[in-house]
A and B are shown apart, each in its own frame.
Chain A
């Protein structure tokens, strides 16, 4: 107890001393700020060069982050929002809370064209079904093959999970009007639908399912951090839907220059080289040192699927209705 009082006092003094240094407040999702996410290393690296205090605030996931910003409205203390994805961008832009990006915008290494005035990508990944090579010897090569197989999968609910929504849009982008039929075919393969990614991935690791909806980069974690090369992602012929994670500058920020500097830093080698082994995603710009060893073993889809923010916004209610109808039978 004594130490915590001491610590509280110490923090108060430290806050007073820091009153001179400008503070940059970055809202992001919870796993970004966790001790195992990119947050701590990014904070250290940026503070070394900005002469400022970078403060992260974590809130749930990307959708929770946007809900929080909309709740706070123009009075939000955030200077930067980091961690939205393309599926949330339309709503985010409509909110009027974001300022245009500073020019010139940095060049990036994305598999698709990027030309958005408000949001700058910091990492990206492909959704994929991950399996255990020792248990599944001939993985399906498409949603149709998956539906015809007797493989069992766990997926996430699009209403409560970002990857869940990604899968919904993946099927819709690949199959359009036939999406409902694909879901009907998949319904007997689905063991269950979880609230979030963690539950689903945990159930897969416990052997409850043969495959789980995750990312093509997931096997890299097992390979690099655990020296376990048994996990792989199945390559689908119809292409893989992308998740591009972006950051934007809050229009009402009281630190506009610092926010611009952070956005520039986000495309730098220092920031981008932290991403692959903390967020387990592809960096938006390949750092000069290249990708970490092990990433070359990952599957590279021939075709990247991505709906524009506008399309995604328009189509998702219909896609959700199809999903519900097919799986509620």
Chain B
């Protein structure tokens, strides 16, 4: 029965290889920056203030996102309506927008000169200002509420439909259902969702500064930036980046301690018949929740669309060239994300004993969330410069770094899906003697087609929208679409920039939709 302990053989080696690559790219680049440093400044009082502010804003952003996601995911999980899937997908769009685009979209609604204040003014009410911590939280909830909702929807979908049927035949009230079915699921899912969003907000910087209203809103990432370019102090930048890692690692450890890994389904593809939620009031409440959330998430996107629509057909040819480049980078990053995340997820999910080694591999998969993009880019540069011309490799490097950045999300989706499939059908596959490549080809891959499609879509869209390391290595004629948007803005061409931003939004969404749909077509689930 040697096969029982290692049902997938060679996958273990591939998974370990992927983990090693992440180690080289994330802590490896940090070490490279540290070793290259000549002098190292001390961490000052204002750095500690930055660390404190970073922790507060990230914790609040994550808490608000997951708390608001609970009613939204619940409403979406138990209602079916035309366009539900499209709405869920569209609500995810804020997550993939370049910072400057998202900020301007948000301000078109919530800014001093935005629609909301115009409406308040028309009603004779005083204007509101979002600048400060409220603005930071608003932006982070705008980015991350969709992600939290998706993660929780997976949780809801993983509660077997039979449980709801049984509950209804036992005469459970909605309160009972919450207590016995939904609460245990939330307890298992929420810490993980909180952790992911906390880590995303940890490294946020341009948004925090723009909406934070001033230097009170200084985050660790800005302090790293300052060390790099104001003080030219690589050692201090590396020190701060290490601190950022430490904070991320502590958060991850706490979250993993409290959140057991629930048996998530790949989910989302079905609404569950819920006899407890047919009452008129719950129906109206759900509708109100969905409409409010959609309004919050979609109006800024609509503002982006409106401001970009006029110029989109008059965009200069060079913008279309960068579209091609961005598509290639996105597809490359998608392939790399799958090549890294599948072996890693298989390694983690099919290990029958939860050894410290496996926990370590799982943690490595999340490392890039707490990494400073500036440190990764600079470290890569230091490592590559003696060997090759980093500028010539700008596009492949961008794809690689984008893939590493998508890895945590990929693992979050794939690992539970594989665990699920193994738990349900693994023994059957064992008894049929399906091991190694056959197990993968005949049993596992077909069962996780939908999550693979979702992962690919997410990776492609994230890569499409991310400025990434290209800004550090740009040569003429290698600009990706996000970089081109920044260049248009730097050249005062605001209308072209708005049109290019709309184009980016459409393309990212189309990529996501196609991959996600491709995964679900004929999926044997």
Contacts and interface: CB of A to CB of B under 8 A. Distances in A.
Interface stretch (A61-69, A100-108, A140-148, A299-307): A61-69
Contacts of B520: none
Interface string B310-329: 00000010100000100010
A195 B104 contact: no
B46 A193 contact: no
Interface string A301-323: 00000000000000000001001
Given A192-B210, A194-B210, A202-B494, A40 B476 contact: yes
Given A193-B215, A203-B210, A323-B215, A64 B112 contact: no
Main secondary structure of the interface of B (DSSP, over half): helix
B474 A31 contact: no
Q: Which of A159, A190, A207 has the most chain B CB atoms closer than 10 A to its own CB? A: A159
Contact of A56 (B378, B475, B486): B475
B426 interface: no
A327 B215 contact: yes
Contact of A64 (B107, B212, B229): B229
B382 A202 contact: no
Q: Which of B112, B234, B378, B389 has the most chain A CB atoms closer than 10 A to its own CB? A: B112
B489 interface: yes
A240 to B, nearest CB: 20
A328 B385 contact: no
Interface stretch (B55-63, B181-189, B193-201, B220-228): B220-228
B490 interface: yes
Contact of B210 (A36, A152, A195): A195
Interface string A32-74: 0111110110010000000000011111100110111011100
Contact of B474 (A30, A43, A55, A157): A30
How big is chain B's contact interface, by range?
Answer: 35 or more
A205 B494 contact: yes
B209 interface: yes
Interface in B455-489: 471-476, 479, 483, 486-489
Nearest to A59: B472
A166 interface: no
Q: Which of B206, B232, B389, B473 has the most chain A CB atoms closer than 10 A to its own CB? A: B232
A63 B229 contact: yes
B213 A60 contact: no
Interface in A171-202: 187, 190-199, 201-202
B337 to A, nearest CB: 20
Nearest to B391: A57
Contacts of B131: 191-192
B492 A280 contact: yes
A225 interface: yes
A1 B475 CA distance: 21
B173 to A, nearest CB: 49
Contacts of B474: 30, 33, 57-59
Q: Which of A34, A158, A323 has the most chain B CB atoms closer than 10 A to its own CB? A: A34
How big is chain A's contact interface, by range?
Answer: 35 or more
B490 A30 contact: yes
Contact of A63 (B206, B210, B230, B487): B230
Contact of B36 (A37, A40, A71): A71
A209 B129 CA distance: 12
A22 B194 CA distance: 56
A293 interface: no
B385 A39 contact: no
A271 interface: no
A31 B131 CA distance: 29
B361 to A, nearest CB: 32
A159 B490 contact: no
Given A34-B490, A67-B228, A192-B213, A198 B472 contact: no
B135 to A, nearest CB: 8
B34 interface: no
B229 A160 contact: yes
A192 B486 CA distance: 20
B230 A158 contact: yes
B64 interface: no
A203 B112 CA distance: 10
A225 B492 contact: yes
A202 B471 CA distance: 20
B491 interface: yes
B100 interface: yes
B487 A31 contact: yes
A268 interface: no
Contacts of B494: 202, 205
B39 interface: no
B505 interface: no
Contacts of B113: 206-208
Nearest to B113: A207
A72 B210 contact: no
B381 interface: yes
Nearest to B489: A198
B344 interface: no
Given A34-B490, A199-B100, A280-B492, A193 B476 contact: no
B471 A327 contact: no
A191 B394 CA distance: 36
B475 A58 contact: yes
Contacts of A209: 112
A221 interface: yes
B210 A35 contact: no
A187 B111 CA distance: 19
B274 to A, nearest CB: 44
Contacts of B328: 4
B295 interface: no
A168 to B, nearest CB: 11
Given A30-B490, A59-B472, A199 B215 contact: no
B103 interface: yes
Contacts of A205: 494
A283 B378 CA distance: 33
Interface in B357-380: 378
A324 interface: yes
Interface of B: 36, 46, 49, 100, 103-104, 107-108, 111-113, 131, 135, 205-206, 209-216, 222, 225-226, 228-230, 232, 234, 316, 318, 324, 328, 378, 381-382, 385-386, 389, 391, 471-476, 479, 483, 486-494, 497
Given A67-B228, A324-B46, 13 more contacts: A36-B488, A36-B491, A55-B475, A60-B472, A72-B385, A190-B214, A191-B213, A194-B209, A198-B486, A207-B113, A208-B111, A208-B112, A280-B492
Top-9 shortest CB links A-B? A207-B113, A36-B491, A34-B487, A31-B490, A198-B489, A159-B226, A63-B229, A195-B206, A221-B492
26 contacts: A30-B471, A33-B476, A34-B476, A34-B487, A36-B487, A36-B493, A37-B490, A59-B474, A64-B472, A71-B378, A75-B385, A157-B215, A160-B222, A160-B226, A190-B213, A191-B131, A192-B209, A199-B103, A201-B492, A202-B494, A207-B111, A207-B113, A208-B107, A221-B492, A280-B492, A323-B215
Interface of A: 4, 30-31, 33-37, 39-40, 43, 55-60, 63-64, 66-68, 70-72, 75, 77, 91, 152, 157-160, 165, 187, 190-199, 201-203, 205-209, 218, 221-222, 225, 280, 320, 323-324, 327-328
